Chains A and B, each alone.
Chain A
Amino acid sequence: MLPELTIALVILFLPLVSFVLLIFFGKRFTEKSGLIGTTFLGIDLLFAIYILFAKLATDTVWDFTFTWIDFNTIVNQIPLKLDIGIMVDSLTAVMLVVVTLISFLVHVFSLAYMKDDVRYSRYYANLGIFTFSMLGIVVTNNYLLMYVFWELVGLSSYLLIGHWYEKKSASDAAKKAFIVNRVGDLGFFIGIMIVWMQYSTTTYTGIFSAIGNGNVPFDSNTWLTAAGLLIFCGAIGKSAQFPLHVWLPDAMEGPTPVSALIHAATMVAAGVYLVARTFPMLTADALMVIAYFGAVTAFISATIAIVQNDIKKILAYSTVSQLGYMVMGLGVGAYTAGVMHLVTHAAFKAGLFLASGSVIYAMHHALHHLNDHHTDAQDVRFMGGLRTKMPLTFWTMTIFTLAISGVPLTSGFLSKDEILAGTLAFSHFTGHSIIPIIGFFVAGLTAFYMFRMLILTFMGEHKDAHRIEHIHESPRVITVPLMVLAALSFFVFFSFNPINASQGWFFHNVEYPVISVPKTVASTPTEEFVEEIHHQHTTAMVLSVAISGLGILLAFVTYYWKKISADAFERALKPLHTFLYRKWYFDELYDATAVAATLAVARILAWFDGTVVDGIVNGAAWLTKIGAVVSGKFDSLVVDGLVNFTAFFAGMMGQTVQKVQTGKVQTYMIFAIVGLMVLLALYI
Chain B
Amino acid sequence: MTITLTHFLFISAALFSFGLYAVLTRRNAIMVLMGIELILNSANINFLAFSRFGGMNLEGQMAAIFVIILAAAEAAIALAIVLNIYKRFNTVNVDEISYLKD
Contact = CB atoms under 8 A, between A and B. Distances in A.
A binds B: yes
Contact of B100 (A658, A663, A666, A673): A663
A663 B98 contact: yes
A666 B25 contact: yes
Interface string A654-684: 0000110111111001100100000000000
Contacts of B32: 666
A163 to B, nearest CB: 70
A663 to B, nearest CB: 3
Contacts of A666: 23-25, 32, 94-95
Majority secondary structure of chain B interface residues (helix, strand, loop or mixed): helix
Given A670-B24, A673-B20, A662 B94 contact: no
B99 interface: yes
Contacts of B24: 666, 669-670, 673
A658 B102 contact: yes
B101 A665 contact: no
B25 A663 contact: no
Nearest to B23: A669
Contact of B101 (A661, A669, A670, A673): A661
User: Interface size for chain A: under 10, 10 to 19, 20 to 34, or 35 or more residues?
Assistant: 10 to 19
Contacts of B102: 658-659, 661, 663
A664 B95 contact: yes
A661 B95 CA distance: 13
Interface string B11-48: 00000000010011100000010000000000000000
Which range contains the number of B residues in contact with the other chain? 10 to 19
A673 to B, nearest CB: 7
A662 B98 contact: yes
Contacts of A661: 101-102
A664 B98 contact: yes
B94 A664 contact: yes
A493 B94 CA distance: 116
Contacts of B94: 664-666
Contacts of B99: 663
Nearest to A670: B24
A665 B81 CA distance: 15
A628 B20 CA distance: 43
Contacts of B20: 673
A664 B102 CA distance: 11
B46 to A, nearest CB: 18
A665 B82 CA distance: 14
Interface string B86-102: 00000000110011111
Nearest to B95: A664
Contacts of A663: 98-102
Interface in A236-266: none
Interface in B41-62: none
A662 B97 CA distance: 11
A240 to B, nearest CB: 73
B98 to A, nearest CB: 3
Nearest to A661: B102
Nearest to A655: B102
A19 B20 CA distance: 96
B40 to A, nearest CB: 16
B23 A662 contact: no
A438 to B, nearest CB: 85
A229 B102 CA distance: 74
A661 to B, nearest CB: 4
A345 B101 CA distance: 92
A666 B99 CA distance: 14
Interface string A635-671: 0000000000000000000000011011111100110
A288 B23 CA distance: 98
A661 B102 CA distance: 6
Nearest to B26: A666
Given A665-B94, A666-B32, A666-B95, 18 more contacts: A661-B102, A662-B98, A662-B101, A663-B99, A663-B101, A663-B102, A664-B95, A664-B98, A664-B101, A665-B98, A666-B23, A666-B24, A666-B25, A666-B94, A669-B23, A669-B24, A670-B24, A673-B20
28 contacts: A658-B102, A659-B102, A661-B101, A661-B102, A662-B98, A662-B101, A663-B98, A663-B99, A663-B100, A663-B101, A663-B102, A664-B94, A664-B95, A664-B98, A664-B101, A665-B94, A665-B98, A666-B23, A666-B24, A666-B25, A666-B32, A666-B94, A666-B95, A669-B23, A669-B24, A670-B24, A673-B20, A673-B24
Which 4 A-B pairs give the minimum distances between C-beta atoms? Answer: A663-B101, A663-B98, A661-B102, A658-B102
